[in-house]
Structure 1
Amino acid sequence: MKNESTRDSYSLKILAALQQDGRLSVQDLSQRIGLSTTPTWKRLKALEKDGVIQGYTAVVDRTRVGLATCVLAEVNLSRHVENVVEEFERAVQDCPAIIECFSTTGQADYLLKVVTADIASYDAFLHSVIFKLPGVSEIRSAVVLREIKRPSPLPLDQLG
């Protein structure tokens, strides 16, 4: 379902520009999209209010800060009752090393993206965190050798 604030081309242009540079001033943003400052500001505030823009962050190179190991962990739960699922998902939310979590179809119930300093740290993480998560029955880990494509801007041109 489309959000009201993303129904026009200017709002899509705002989103595209901010995905490239979230530090643009409203004035620079308005120049980039070809709209005056006040309507740009109003659209920007509407996008924030509607939750389309959820926040502004810096993209940090994890390897340069010492988080060289990335692992994709497939997790299966022993039982799919509401309280087990809720406890598991809450525990995942509270764990900073798990930077992404997806509920999936197929062989795994969840796919976790985990970053640690090295393989020894991941092994310690498995024993101190993952094996203790509520309802976990099976884990399959795949160590990422190279990241071919990192998180990137959404393909908003498909909407226009």
Structure 2
Amino acid sequence: MQLDTIDLNILTLLQQNGRISNQDLAEQVFLSPSSCLRRVRILEEAGIISRYSAVLSPEKLGLELDVFVQVTMRRDVESWHENFMQVLQDYPEVVGSYIITGDANYLLRVKARNLKHYSAFVLEKLYKIPGVQDIRSNIVLQAIKETYELPRELLRDG
């Protein structure tokens, strides 16, 4: 799908405020409300807008620990990759999981209430997955930059 400047403006504004009314959105992108709504629906149907959500504050909800975890697997365990991916789906502490290049096979982003909770997660869940060989934890001390918005400069412009 080819995006034009108006589409990019719509996407930028919706990323900043997913609850903006169609009327306000239309005014800000200089369209009629019906034209604006039609464009938003096209962006949704094309999968460019995949969903709407609220961004929660982990700290205010008692999740004090944010950890990036590198996991290295033993390759001699049958179906290690499929099994690992399946088991992760049942662990609410894992809020992001990625197959990566480098020394480890996976990078996980884990949220935990505190160090005790994280330690229990590693010892009672992660290390018990068949094939896990090594776990390296990187605890976030302070977030310098974190955004959920895709920068407009990286989006396609028709």
Question: Is the partner of 2:7 in helix, strand or coil?
Answer: helix
The 1-side partners of 2:32 and 2:74 are apart by 56
In the alignment of these two chains, the number of paired residues is: 156
Contact map agreement 2:77 2:131 (CA 8 A) in 1: no
Residue number in structure 2 paired with 1:29 = 25
The 2-side partners of 1:51 and 1:7 are apart by 13
What amino acid maps onto 1:138 in structure 2? D
Gaps of 5+ in 1: none
> Which of 74, 77, 83 matches 2:73?
77
Q: Does 1:153 align with 2:153?
A: no
Residues 81 and 39 of structure 1, relative CA distance in 2, 3 Å threshold: farther
Higher relative contact order (CA 8 A, sep 6+): 2
The 1-side partners of 2:19 and 2:131 are apart by 42
Residue number in structure 2 paired with 1:62 = 58
Residue number in structure 1 paired with 2:132 = 136
The 1-side partners of 2:114 and 2:46 are apart by 39
The 2-side partners of 1:92 and 1:145 are apart by 24
- TM-score (ref. length: structure 1): 0.89
- TM-score (ref. length: structure 2): 0.90
Residue number in structure 2 paired with 1:100 = 96
Could you tell me how far 1:80 is from its partner in structure 2?
A: 8.1
Question: Is the partner of 1:75 in helix, strand or coil?
Answer: strand
Contact map agreement 2:69 2:108 (CA 8 A) in 1: yes
Aligned ranges 1:117-136 → 2 under 5 Å: 117-136=113-132
Aligned ranges 1:17-56 → 2 under 5 Å: 17-56=13-52
